[in-house]
Amino acid sequence: MKISELARRTGVPVATIKYYLRENLLQPGERTSATQAAYDDSHEQRLRLIRALVEVGNLPLATVRRVLATVDDEHTNVHHLLGITHHALGPDVQQNHRDAEWSTARADVDAFLTELGWMVHQDAPARDLLAKAVLALRGLGLPDSSDDLRPYARAAHELAKHELASTPRTGPRSAVVEHAVLGTVLYEPVLIALRRLAEEHESAQLFTDPA
């Protein structure tokens, strides 16, 4: 197909596609004349993945490049590939004061994950994200013990099992990464919204006058 058709199918503007080609994020098409090239399904697939990483994952181009390199390196197994993807999604927790309180919170998070028996890389950004949330709870005197966090861990674990079960087992590696990025990022607001709705519903159960 022509570049215009590729743009139509993926929703990525022609100028952006050309930029990805120049940056070597997208493999060149097959040259058909001095000014034209032909593109196929592999280009469409790759563009879908780049779009997911850039638009949904909000990742900077340098990070996109790293994820794509891992997709292309067939020697990395799927777990490693998903690990790179999850870590790329960050978030990069900016903690200006990595002081004693921060260190304690981070150590508590690490101990909690060990207690849960979860296999998570020591440098996973979500460890910092959880430590930051725990610090915020502490700052306002809210419950943050293992017992307090366990219901959230249980809910999260049930969801993750459900989600990972739907990860494609066959097909291109790019589809696995696309699935992980979209699944992780796009179902977050679903969960947030449903929790708020459930809170309102439960409050109605508990506090509405029978009258």
| Interface residues toward a copy of itself, by CB under 8 A | 52, 56, 77-79, 82-83, 86, 89, 113, 118-121, 124, 126-127, 129-130, 132-134, 136-137, 140, 142, 149, 151-164, 167, 180, 182-184, 186-209
> Do the Cβ atoms of 20 and 47 come closer than 8 Å?
yes
Of the two residues 25 and 176, which places its CB atom closer to a copy of itself in the complex?
176
Helix, strand and coil percent figures for the chain, each rounded to 5: 70, 0, 30
Of the two residues 21 and 133, which places its CB atom closer to a copy of itself in the complex?
133
Euclidean distance between CA atoms 70 and 64, whole angstroms: 10
Of the two residues 10 and 29, which places its CB atom closer to a copy of itself in the complex?
10
**Which residues are bridge partners to 38 per DSSP?**
30
Of the two residues 40 and 199, which places its CB atom closer to a copy of itself in the complex?
199
Q: Distance from CA of residue 73 to its chain's centroid? A: 20
Q: How far is the CB of 72 from a copy of itself (least distance, A)?
A: 18
Q: Is 31 helix (H, G, I), strand (E, B) or coil?
A: strand
> Do the Cβ atoms of 67 and 84 come closer than 8 Å?
yes
Q: How far is the CB of 28 from a copy of itself (least distance, A)?
A: 26
